[in-house]
Amino acid sequence: MKLALNGLGAQVPPSRKQVQIYFIQAGHCENTARHFYQHYSEKSWLNPEAKLIADWKRCAWQWIWNR
């Protein structure tokens, strides 16, 4: 049985703290995490096609990669 935990993996939206921890573990600062969180919170966690982001961690990794 697979348990889904809010904000972990595919669950959107994550908490601000979960985003900060993810970015710090990826070797980035809290400021970068804050920008990511604010950006997607303002967009209601929707992707450019206006669909709910399926996996915020994947989206965060793309954010980090493109910076």
Condensed to tens digits (0 to 9), the pLDDT of residues 27-59 reads: 999 999 999 999 999 999 999 999 999 899 999
Task: Please report the pLDDT score of residue 54 as a whole number.
Answer: 86
Phi-psi region of 32 (alpha: psi -120 to 50; beta: other; left: phi over 0): alpha
Alpha carbons within 13 angstroms on the beta-carbon side of residue 55 total 5
Which of these, 18, 11, 22, lies nearest to 62 by C-alpha position? 22
Please report which confidence band the pLDDT of residue 67 belongs to, taking 50, 70 and 90 as the band edges: confident
Q: How far apart are CA 35 and CA 15, in angstroms?
A: 14
Task: Please report the pLDDT score of residue 51 as a whole number.
Answer: 92
pTM: 0.81
Omega of the bond leading into 13 within 30 degrees of 0 (cis): yes
- Tell whether the model's pLDDT for residue 5 goes beyond 60: no
